[in-house]
Amino acid sequence: MELRIARPNGKQGRGYMSREEKANRPVITWAFFSRVMSYMAPYWKQLVLMLTAIGLSAWLNLLPAILTGRIIDEGLIGQDFNRLLWLIGQSFVVILTANLIGVAESFLSNWIAQHMTLDMRNAMFKHLLKMPHHFYTSNNQGDIITRMTSDISGVQQVMTSTVTSILSNSLTLGLALLAMLQKSVPLALVGLIIIPLFIIPTKKMGKLRWQLTSRAQATEDQVNGILNETLSVSGQLLVKLFNQEKQEADRYESFSRDLLALNMKERMAGRWFRVAMSTFSSVGPLLLYLVGGSLMMHYDATLSVGDITVMVVFLGKMYGPVNSLLNIQIDWIRSMALFTRIFDYFDRDVEIESPQQAIWPAGMGEGNETAGVAPSETTTGVTTAAAETSTAAAETSTAAVTTTSKPSASINSTTTSKPSASADLIFDQVAFAYDSERPILKDISFTVQPGETVAIVGPSGAGKSSLINLLPRLHDVDAGSIRLNGVDLRDLDLHYLRETIGIVTQDTYLFNGTIRDNLLYAKADATDAELKEACRLANIHDLIASLPQGYDSLVGNRGLKLSGGEKQRLSIARVLLKNPAILIFDEATSSLDSISESLIQAAIEPLIQSRTSLMIAHRLSTILSADKIVVMDQGQLVAQGSHQDLLNSNALYTELYETQFKQEKNEPAAEEHSAS
């Protein structure tokens, strides 16, 4: 079970944990605590200043109470006006200084907390960007966002509230107790006896408010759930189509009334809580006046009115720190629970990354004459193992591989050289599974020659997309290997590999920005001429030019302002702008009508001929344009060859042709005519 921090109505229940929190409280070891403190280490100077400010503030906040006693005894009772003015002036200066130091303390604690969370948030974002693809398919997106935002933001509570509260309250309590003992030991003991009378009702009333607030939060979650479901675009459409407006309105009103009743109970409980607090807070001073007056009148002539007044003030200053320190354990556990959730993500293995001695093939791009990538920033020779790998790759590839190192950190996505059209791919007994109990790919072996176009066909669930996703290493093979120009993909620099490959997927994703922004994502320094040329090739330029804002038109959230076909063509233009050596189309034209598809097919035909290309095929036109067809079924390669050979020799392909492709038999000619 995953630990979640309960925050009823956006606030933590003071002094109380939910059952889930109690069951999943973090184990705080010295190693864990050291790891938490490591985030404060870069700011140790500011931390020292903050601790100094806390100490000074705690001390100065007690001085006005002492000066109050002297004002009463020396100024008022002693009827010394000059002394009265002097003591009042001292009190004002002390109060002003304490407040200014309090501002400095608040600034320092917030400064440290903000910088800690900035460091943590940046590190988390970089880490999440490197996480494997299956991390995002197996984890709830809302949970990922929560850990990036509210969990890391909650860490600020550790510095701005929890840590400073422990230090400040401990110092205030200790100094107040010492000052009371110095003034009068009997009165100090009376004050200590009174404190439990203040704490007990606070705990009981706090528990009741916590229970009411928790129930109100659960009801509010249900109300928000109704709003999210029924007021979304899809939800509203469903409500209208099934005439459920009245039912949904009644459901919303019912939960809203429940929420109103709970909020009223919680508010009144809060009012009674304040009454109890006020009553019991008055008991202590009254007892001190009673006991102090008795001592002053009958037993201790040295005890003055000012001394008794000071004791009452000190007792009031002890109430808050005692209650806070009693509850601080809960705040501390919640704070550490946030760190536990954050560290859980930090500790997850990146899994797919460039190897320590990654290979950067030479002779495979424009102006790229060296190869190999070392983790250091200096040029070094590769290890013997890496050299052997490079030599083996050179013998099986059309490109040479040198042993000169090139640091990964220096790679720039806008200037990276790309392989030439001579790239070839070899799938050698490839096996893959998302989990050990359900194999997806089994013993897949075939070759894609340089500049060759291969169509991959098969029924739904055959493993076509899974096979394609292995090429940019969204997943790694479990057995066998995939080689690019003779080099295992796992030995190549990951940035280089993904620059080499361009994929247009069936599920087109566009960022919520302009058309230009989405295109520039492929090549940040692209010129307007390059943007327009890529869009012409994808048959989308004329549409963009017709828009009022042209290339600066907003596409909307996930591109909702564009039709499915328009999004597909824009996605194709983005990949063409990237200009990769290997083109992969994962049913990329499935959202297009026949005319648009034929125009795009005609436009990208020269590009496909000059590049190694793989296409997951769903239309006959795609199959007929391929140099080779690979047939897959239940994760296995069952046949490969030309269209006519497969029709004559493979029953599955013949069935696919009869059920999916034959209806388009006469379309290529018509589409060619339309394109002309």
Q: Identify the pLDDT of residue 400.
A: 34
Query: 220 falls in which pLDDT band (50, 70, 90)?
Result: confident
H or E segment at 431? strand 425-435
Q: Identify the pLDDT of residue 394.
A: 35
CA 408 to chain CA centroid, Å, is 25
Q: Which CATH superfamily is domain 185-302 in?
A: ABC transporter type 1, transmembrane domain (1.20.1560.10)
Q: Identify the pLDDT of residue 392.
A: 38
pTM: 0.64
Residue 639 to residue 655: CA distance in whole angstroms = 13
How large is the average pLDDT for residues 529-541?
86
Q: Using one digit for the tens of pLDDT, what is the confidence trace for 484-508? A: 988 999 999 988 898 888 888 777 7
Q: Count Cβ atoms within 10 A of the Cβ of residue 59 and give its class: 0-12 exposed, 13-18 middle, 19 or more buried.
A: middle
- Give the chain's end-to-end CA distance (angstroms, integer): 62
Q: Which of 251-255, 300-304, 360-364 is the least confident region?
A: 360-364
Residue 317 to residue 324: CA distance in whole angstroms = 12
Task: For residue 615, give the nearest of 583, 644, 641 by alpha carbon.
Answer: 583
Q: Using one digit for the tens of pLDDT, what is the confidence trace for 230-270? A: 887 778 888 888 788 898 899 889 988 888 888 888 777 76
Residue 627 to residue 454: CA distance in whole angstroms = 6
Q: Which CATH superfamily is domain 1-6+27-183+322-349 in?
A: ABC transporter type 1, transmembrane domain (1.20.1560.10)
Query: Is 425-675 assigned to CATH 3.40.50.300?
Result: yes
Asked if residue 482 lies in contact with residue 474, where contact means CB atoms within 8 angstroms, the answer is: no
DSSP 373: B
Q: Using one digit for the tens of pLDDT, what is the confidence trace for 606-636? A: 667 778 889 887 677 677 778 899 999 999 9
Asked if residue 607 lies in contact with residue 583, where contact means CB atoms within 8 angstroms, the answer is: yes
453 phi and psi angles, rounded to 5 deg: -110, 125
In the predicted structure, residue 100 carries a pLDDT above the cut 90: yes
Residue of higher predicted confidence among 585 and 9: 585
Strand 487-488: give its sheet, edge to edge: 438-448, 425-435, 479-484, 487-488
658 phi and psi angles, rounded to 5 deg: -70, -35
- Of these ranges, 111-125, 296-310, 585-599, the one predicted with the greatest mean pLDDT is 111-125
Q: 3-state class of 3 per DSSP?
A: coil
Q: What are the residue ranges of CATH 1.20.1560.10 in the chain?
A: 1-6+27-183+322-349, 185-302
Task: For residue 496, give the nearest of 356, 349, 373, 585 by alpha carbon.
Answer: 373
Q: Identify the pLDDT of residue 419.
A: 42
Q: Identify the pLDDT of residue 441.
A: 93
Tokens representing 219? Answer: 């009801």
Q: Which of 159-163, 240-244, 304-308, 659-663 is the least confident region?
A: 659-663
Helix segments in 383-427, DSSP class H? 384-396
In the predicted structure, residue 383 carries a pLDDT above the cut 60: no
Asked if residue 452 lies in contact with residue 612, where contact means CB atoms within 8 angstroms, the answer is: yes
How large is the average pLDDT for residues 139-155?
78
Q: What are the residue ranges of CATH 3.40.50.300 in the chain?
A: 425-675
Residue 102 to residue 57: CA distance in whole angstroms = 6
Strand 479-484 versus strand 487-488 pairing type: antiparallel
Strand partners, 428: 481
Strand 479-484 versus strand 425-435 pairing type: antiparallel
- Calculate the CA dihedral of residues 629, 631, 637, 638 and round it to 10 degrees: -110
Calculate ∠ Cα 466-468-473, nearest 5°.
Answer: 90
Q: Identify the pLDDT of residue 446.
A: 94
Give 653's Cβ-side CA count (13 Å radius).
24
Residue 454 to residue 625: CA distance in whole angstroms = 9
Q: Identify the pLDDT of residue 92.
A: 92
